[in-house]
Structure 1
Amino acid sequence: MTNLKLMTISGSLRKGSYNRMLLAEAAEAFGPADVTEGDLNLPLYDGDLEAESGVPEAAQTLARQIKDADAVVISAPEYNKGITGVLKNALDWISRVEGAAFRDKPTVVISAAAGRTGGETAQFMTLSCLTQLQARLLPGTSVLIAGAMNAFDETGKLKDNTSRKLLATRMEALRAEVS
């Protein structure tokens, strides 16, 4: 049997970001899978650039990876009570690629943020964008890791048992959706 294909997308470009740590925990909780991490290092969306050169290859690759995945997990950090520019920009570029990459794609959004709401506003905004892209958003209790700078140990693992169990429940539901 071939492994499922899990696509992870972090709304933060920083290599050591808490959202990347959270995605690593999510991938582990999902279980055996071929995991691909999306590269959101894309040019800013610009209709003139698109008209002149078409959709950049990096955005086309990202859309293709999403389309080829069995499931997607997005970790949405919160900057200034909103979605990160990096994540919004990537979603905008993906929307310009033929074939609706997210259409009916089983998707879960999770968040880690320094603030006390754990990225709730960014998660809400991300879910709103994904609704327009026709993702199949799995219902369930939100995974919101507040005070992210204190939520992970030195190896990048979540310290809190309750958060680990909640994340595991969400990933088990995602896996069941595509198995």
Structure 2
Amino acid sequence: METKVIAFSGSLRKESYTTKLLKAFQKSAPVGITVEIIDISTLPFINEDLEADLPQPVKDLHAKIKSADAVIFATPEYNRSYSPVLKNAIDWGSRPEGNNLWKTKPATIIGCSPYSLGAFGAVNHLRQVVLYVNLYIMQQPEFYLSFIADSMDEQGNITKKETQDFINGHWKAFGEWIEKFNSTKNN
């Protein structure tokens, strides 16, 4: 049975390292797991006035979340936090009130940076939010990638064996995490 993972990049920049990292994860997915990267650039800002007649991008997001077995959040770090576009997507996925579509889905957070901390602050800040919406966030192993530009070429292909091994190791743990929660749902 195919496991469907939806993935979100917290960067909208065309040549985003975060999106390139997410695509590297997509290419490295183990057999039996498919990864769909969801475009969140068209989501309107969260606004309860829109909840009576949800905009189509929000309806599309809801459909993607409902159909998913698990979630990956990829975040850059902006001022020691994650990006507003990720927060907006998470909020829409938990609204309208009483309609939290995230609850009980296994999830992981990955972060990267062209600098030395690898989005450590952003990943840990984002954990607080996803815990509240009751995602089953994988705590270990953590994934922070510093100096990402040194690990990939301009097309986003991973060029360092250590980085690819890091991605593969995270996938191994995340695959087991997904299986743990999805097997209990099917029993």
Q: Is the 8 A contact 2:58 2:92 kept in 1?
A: yes
Worse overlay, 34-43 or 124-133 = 34-43
Q: Any unmatched runs of 5+ in structure 2?
A: 180-187
**Count of equivalent residues:** 176
Correspondence for 2:184: none
1:23 equivalent in structure 2: 22
User: Do structure 1's residue 118 and structure 2's residue 118 form an aligned pair?
Assistant: yes
What is the match of residue 160 of structure 1?
Answer: 160
Counterparts of 1:36-51 in structure 2, within 5 Å, are 36-41=36-41, 42-50=43-51
Residue by residue, what CA displacement relative to the aligned partner does 1:80-128 show, whole Å, maximum 9, x if unpaired?
A: 2211111111111112145422111110100112221111111112111
- The normalised TM-score by structure 1 is 0.87
Cα deviation for residue 170 of structure 1 reads 1.5
Task: Tell me the SS of whatever aligns to 1:67.
Answer: helix
Contact 1:29 / 1:172 at 8 angstroms: preserved in 2?
no
Shift of residue 21, structure 1, vs aligned partner: 1.3
Note if contact 1:8-1:35 (Cα within 8 Å) is conserved in structure 2: yes
State the match for 1:173 in structure 2: 173
Structure 1 unaligned runs (5+)? Answer: none
The Cα shift of 1:134 comes to 0.3
**Can you list the C-alpha shifts for 1:149-169, whole angstroms capped at 9, x where unaligned?**
333123312333333222211
Could you tell me which amino acid in structure 2 is paired with residue 143 of structure 1? F
Please report the RMSD computed on the Cα atoms of aligned residues, expressed in angstroms: 1.9
Moved over 4 A (4+): none
> How far 1:64 moved relative to its partner?
2.4
Give the letter for the 1:15 counterpart: K
What is the CA–CA distance in structure 2 between the aligned matches of 1:95 and 1:31, rounded to whole Å? 29
Superposition deviation, residue 178 in structure 1: 3.3
AA aligned to 1:46 is: N
- More moved, 71-80 vs 159-168: 159-168
Asked whether the 8 Å contact 1:30–1:172 carries over to 2, the reply is: no
Identity %: 27
- Cα pair 2:26 2:34 within 8 Å, conserved: no
| TM-score, normalised with respect to structure 2 | 0.84
